[in-house]
Amino acid sequence: MYRQRTGRQPLRLGLLRPIVVVLLALLLALLMLGCSSGEGKSEAGATHKKVPEGNFDIANGRSLYIKCLGSGPPTIVLEPGENTPGSAMSQVQDPLDRRSMACVYDRANVGSSDTAPTPRTAAQIVTDLHQLLQKADVPGPYVLAGSSAGGTLVQLYARRYPDEVKSVVAMNPVPPADPWLKRVLPLFNNDEDQSEQAYFRGNNDEHIDYLDSSKELKEAPQPPHVPFEMLISTKVQCEGDPTCLKSYGVYEQVEREVAQQWPKGCFHEVAASHDIYADKTDLIVDAVKHPCAE
């Protein structure tokens, strides 16, 4: 029984019910809002994508290894030289992942990736990378940076998949067979001539057929309208190598011409060894962030 309150009329049950109903309705609304808010957080957490790392199966039955760090666009994809695992470029990857996602990977027959029949061509390798980025759900657009063999591969990738690429940096890429061989072989002695031709036919550390690869590059769509920076080492890279010294002028000329084929291309020489990224890491990080900056 309710006690009478001093100076007030006692509450009647009929008047109490509407108040209780309103209070219950408000409580239920608050609970539903809380659940809804909690569900949103849970859902966001469930759909939050992990940074890709590990082996991923691609369409040809092989699995390729990739390791990405950081987050945010654009995604930077690093391509090392012949028979070199992606981890070799970790010193470039580490500073880049502070603002963007940066990825290294192992091509087939290298590091933690599966094997593939050899000799291989640039088109086969580029197709592998394209499938790997899709399978690993690596978001675009991509900034592609490659050294030596990788410097050639990133050029073909950008020309085949221009809508995916934001910019390209090529460091000491393998030159296109034509005009390279036509211009340089007359400078070589017989042994140098045979060695260079064998190298381009696939007698190299990764068994890449650069003759067919050069044809693939020549037949690919024209370079896209994205920043393209060509970086080659000065003659510093030729120390103790008379063949390199003998052919450096031709190499410089050919690579300068390659850069000129890109609508937004630029060309720079760097006093460094062949692996520019190892000697001048800060410079490469800057080039990747701001290609063709003065």
Mean pLDDT of 198-206: 98
pLDDT band at 294 (very low <50, low <70, confident <90, very high): low
| Encoded tokens for 47 | 């759909």
Averaged confidence pLDDT in the chain? 87
147, 276 Cβ separation under 8 angstroms: yes
173, 152 Cβ separation under 8 angstroms: yes
> What residues contact 32, with CB distance under 8 A and at least 6 apart?
none
Pairing of strands 63-69, 53-57: antiparallel
Structure confidence at residue 42 (pLDDT): 29
The residue ranges of every structural domain in the chain are 1-48, 53-289
> What residues contact 89, with CB distance under 8 A and at least 6 apart?
78, 80, 104, 147, 277
Q: Which CATH superfamily is domain 53-289 in?
A: Alpha/Beta hydrolase fold, catalytic domain (3.40.50.1820)
Peptide bond into 119 cis (omega under 30): yes
| Encoded tokens for 115 | 């094997």
* Model confidence pLDDT, tens digit, residues 42-52: 233 333 468 89
CA dihedral 184, 187, 193, 199 (to 10 degrees): -30
* Model confidence pLDDT, tens digit, residues 82-92: 999 999 999 99
Whether residue 152 has pLDDT greater than 80: yes
